[in-house]
Amino acid sequence: MTHFSELDTPAVLIDLDRAEANLKKAQDAADRAGIALRPHIKTHKLPFFAKRQVELGAVGVTVQKLGEAEVMADAGLTDLLLTFNIIGAAKRSRLKALHNRVTIRTVADSAECVAGLAETFTDPAHPLGVFVECDTGMGRCGVQSPNAALDLAQQIIAAPGLAFAGLMTYPAAGKYQAAAQWLADARTVFSTARIDLPAITTGGTPDIWHMDEAARVATEYRPGTYIYMDRSQVAAGAAGFDDCALTVLATVVSRPTPDRAIIDAGSKALTSDLLGLTGHGHVVEYPEAKVVGLSEEHGTLDLSACTSKPAIGDVIRIIPNHCCPVTNLFDQVHLIRDQALVETMDVAARGKVN
Amino acid sequence: MTHFSELDTPAVLIDLDRAEANLKKAQDAADRAGIALRPHIKTHKLPFFAKRQVELGAVGVTVQKLGEAEVMADAGLTDLLLTFNIIGAAKRSRLKALHNRVTIRTVADSAECVAGLAETFTDPAHPLGVFVECDTGMGRCGVQSPNAALDLAQQIIAAPGLAFAGLMTYPAAGKYQAAAQWLADARTVFSTARIDLPAITTGGTPDIWHMDEAARVATEYRPGTYIYMDRSQVAAGAAGFDDCALTVLATVVSRPTPDRAIIDAGSKALTSDLLGLTGHGHVVEYPEAKVVGLSEEHGTLDLSACTSKPAIGDVIRIIPNHCCPVTNLFDQVHLIRDQALVETMDVAARGKVN
């Protein structure tokens, strides 16, 4: 039996029991709310957990990149939603290859994107499902109004090789009610135009425990981070530190002053993501410690508030601000249970940049 | 001939002529200043460029991780400096294996680190060179005073299998004069104690063009970023945008509003590193554009100050805030010359977390 503290650092640890509890809690909440769950694999990037999510009741998974979709299809996942505007012939060709072997649908928020898809997908007998992406307050991609969604849906409907799949949004964190109102308005617009809305898919871990409210207008929920949770989700009230399944194991490599410790986990292990927070993570063993600085390979801890302090050679665990990009930095993660190593697993969908 | 704009995005482009010019300019400056150059490979992570740096006159290279050292040794680099406290038996064992096949030296800033090295390296006929790491203002690792440096040097000297190599520092950007004063004070302390200082190694691209001043007290300079340069170095006055050799090629995938463009390069392509800057990069083709937001796969551009604006499907190049962690996010980089693809190269030392 290998205790996690024996692993070389820095390393990513995944607590299997916590991850499983998070998966079940969300699936139960979705079941109770009567909304389909389609988890985003960007957080774990592992077919192992994608399959487990489907076993527990998810209708399929969400991916953000064609490369992620290819990994999941190769691993036997059969129902994928690619929530990213696919632009350019090279990417459309890869999407077509996927469409020929699994159920995959995508999104569009512009006439240009739909026109490209319509050029590549031309078979009315096997149309590509396309959602209209809606900007319900996030300020990222998406059509700006329900009427614009209707216009784009009509363009999709007019393309013989495309099938209008419904509306997709990624709502701004904490603004699920505004997003729901936007989608309710869209329902009215589509209803007036007598255009069926096969599905409305929304998401986001920060508001995951309001899935029952999302279910009043949406039919599907796409959370990602919920499997591992992280410091930003704790700050958002979606989890406690005891729910966090992913930690970065680090070694104290220097204690240059009484109040400073340097660990071997910097921005190349924890990322520089702040997500509105101060500091770069929560130290499990020394919760009063502050991760005040990161350079690429060094993390700087302020121990001034700590009653006990770590020594050189001690290993500590950090709950990062944002777990999703952390798994993109490591070729492997270590699955643990009761502090013991169960398996070291390749992060199959890491680094799938396109 | 493949024009860079035909490459799938996001992608990292390296302009070979600019990189070569940056390498030569720094080597020339080092030669004029009479200081040895030992480039840090963390920026490019490529044996190709490490070898070129040595061909141009570098005395060897600097690495931050054992995994990086192993990649460089495998590629034929023979003189390595590992500027990170090596803690723990597993890592010391890897260091010993490297020591048995190439010239590799390391650093220490604590009695604990030296004691561990002394336990593993015991052969007086083939001692491990160890520098004392000094905190000359960076506030990261390093002994806190010249007298503490002397104490640690004496511990190294007392260990039969270790050889005292000198002093190593990574000075805070813009504070090279304070660092030089610290090192000059240390020279006095060591001279009084009649202990030879075989070398004093310092570094940093932000102050690279003050190498002549560094040379007054230091014998070696370890710049990393200078090969590619980036937006933070432009802000520091160490480069102009026309010197920047690394760009991230991205496609405009959405134009949801007249002033907003969304590109397919987010924090998983550009990183969230701000380094004190506002915004996440410089857009080469649209210098008035602001990269105002990043999520993992989306970059948000504010085009309100732009006279012309990119359309969906257009490709643009971003000079990132910090180029070094960008090369850690991509399995491959594309080497270009005169806008044409020369070679696509695996980033051999990417993801070497330990």
pLDDT at residue B251, rounded to an integer:
98
- Between CA B299 and CA B303 the distance in angstroms is 12
Buried-state track B271-303, b at ≥16 Cβ within 10 A, e below 16:
bbbeeeeebbbbbbebeebbbebbbbbbbbbbb
Q: Which amino acid is at A333?
A: V
Residue tagged 């796409």 (tokens): A222
**Superfamily of the domain at A17-227:** Alanine racemase (3.20.20.10)
Tokens at A282, concatenated = 């929560």
pLDDT at residue A261, rounded to an integer:
98
pLDDT at residue B303, rounded to an integer:
98
> Which run of H or E residues covers position B181?
helix B176-192
Ranges of residues in chain B whose predicted pLDDT is under 70 = none
Q: What is the mean pLDDT of residues A16-30?
A: 98
Contact B87 A264 (CB under 8 A): yes
Q: Which residues of chain A from 34 to 53 reach within 8 Å of chain B, CB to CB?
A: 42
Contact B264 A84 (CB under 8 A): yes
DSSP B3: B
Helix/strand/coil percent split, chain B, to 5:
35, 25, 40
E strands present in B115-243 = 128-134, 162-169, 200-203, 220-222
Residue A17 class from Cβ within 10 Å (0-12 exposed, 13-18 middle, 19+ buried)? exposed
Tokens at A16, concatenated = 């299997």
Chain A residues within an 8 Å CB radius of B354: 8-11, 264
Longest dimension (CA), chain B: 71
Chain A residues within an 8 Å CB radius of B330: 351, 353
Q: Which amino acid is at A9?
A: T
Contact A328 B139 (CB under 8 A): no
- The answer to whether the bond into A127 is cis (omega within 30° of 0) is no
First-last CA distance in chain B: 39
**Under 8 Å between Cβ of A37 and A59:** yes
The residue of chain A with its CA nearest to that of B64 is A297
**pLDDT tens, residue by residue, A163-199:** 999 999 999 999 999 999 999 999 999 999 999 999 9
pLDDT at residue A147, rounded to an integer:
98
Of A240, A238, A170, A168, residue with least CA distance to A210? A238
pLDDT at residue A73, rounded to an integer:
98
User: Strands A11-15 and B61-63: what pairing?
Assistant: unpaired
Chain A residues within an 8 Å CB radius of B41: none
Residue tagged 């400056």 (tokens): B29
pTM equals 0.97
**Under 8 Å between Cβ of B10 and B269:** yes
Contact B297 A84 (CB under 8 A): yes
**Under 8 Å between Cβ of A279 and A318:** no
Contact A351 B328 (CB under 8 A): no
pLDDT at residue A341, rounded to an integer:
98
- The answer to whether the bond into A320 is cis (omega within 30° of 0) is no
**pLDDT tens, residue by residue, B60-115:** 999 999 999 999 999 999 999 999 999 999 999 999 999 999 999 999 999 999 99
- Between CA A82 and CA A105 the distance in angstroms is 6
CB-side exposure of B11: number of CA atoms within 13 Å?
22
- Topology of domain A4-11+236-346 in CATH is Lyase, Ornithine Decarboxylase; Chain A, domain 1 (2.40.37)
**Mutation target vs B (from A151, A253, A352; most B CBs, 10 A cutoff):** A253
- Phi then psi dihedrals of residue B12, to 5 deg: -100, 125
**pLDDT tens, residue by residue, A241-299:** 999 999 999 999 999 999 999 999 999 999 999 999 999 999 999 999 999 999 999 99
Of A164, A115, A175, residue with least CA distance to A140? A175
Map residue B332 onto helix, strand or coil. Answer: strand
Residues contacting residue A106 through CB under 8 Å, at least 6 positions apart? A81, A82, A83, A84, A85, A86, A95, A117, A128, A129, A130, A131
Q: Is the complex ipTM higher than 0.90?
A: yes
**Under 8 Å between Cβ of B238 and B205:** yes
Of A184, A174, A186, A192, residue with least CA distance to A216? A184
Taking the CA atoms of residue B205, residue B209, residue B213 and residue B214 in that order, the dihedral angle to the nearest 10 degrees is: 20
Residue B107 class from Cβ within 10 Å (0-12 exposed, 13-18 middle, 19+ buried)? buried
**pLDDT tens, residue by residue, A296-340:** 999 999 999 999 999 999 999 999 999 999 999 999 999 999 999
Q: Chain B contact for A113, CB < 8 A?
A: yes
Of A231, A224, A222, A177, residue with least CA distance to A199? A222
pLDDT at residue A134, rounded to an integer:
98
Tokens at A223, concatenated = 């959370």
Which parts of A215-336 fold into alpha helices (H)? 231-235, 267-270, 323-326
Picking from B65, B253, B313, the nearest residue to A297 by CB comes out as: B65
Q: Which residues of chain B from 266 to 295 reach within 8 Å of chain A, CB to CB?
A: 267-269, 271-274, 293, 295
Q: Chain A contact for B258, CB < 8 A?
A: no
Residues of chain B with CATH 3.20.20.10: 16-228
- Between CA B289 and CA B261 the distance in angstroms is 9
- Between CA A171 and CA A179 the distance in angstroms is 6
pLDDT at residue B143, rounded to an integer:
98
- CB–CB contacts below 8 A, A to B: 168
- Mind telling me how many Å the CA of A7 is from chain B's nearest CA? 9
**Under 8 Å between Cβ of A144 and A182:** no
pLDDT at residue A284, rounded to an integer:
98
Of B49, B47, B23, residue with least CA distance to B37? B23
Q: Chain B contact for A89, CB < 8 A?
A: no
> Among 1.10.540.10, 3.20.20.10, 3.40.50.1100, 3.90.1310.10, what is the CATH number of B16-228?
3.20.20.10
- Between CA A156 and CA A129 the distance in angstroms is 9
Residues of chain A with CATH 3.20.20.10: 17-227
- Between CA B149 and CA A147 the distance in angstroms is 70
Taking the CA atoms of residue A227, residue A230, residue A232 and residue A233 in that order, the dihedral angle to the nearest 10 degrees is: 40
* Mean pLDDT value across chain A: 98
Q: What is the mean pLDDT of residues A59-78?
A: 98
Picking from B8, B112, B329, the nearest residue to A90 by CB comes out as: B8
Q: What is the mean pLDDT of residues A38-55?
A: 98
Q: Chain B contact for A5, CB < 8 A?
A: no
- Between CA B248 and CA A4 the distance in angstroms is 37
- Between CA B289 and CA B287 the distance in angstroms is 5
Residues of chain A with CATH 2.40.37.20: 4-11+236-346
Picking from A91, A135, A254, the nearest residue to B109 by CB comes out as: A254
**Under 8 Å between Cβ of B58 and B27:** yes
Contact B142 A254 (CB under 8 A): yes
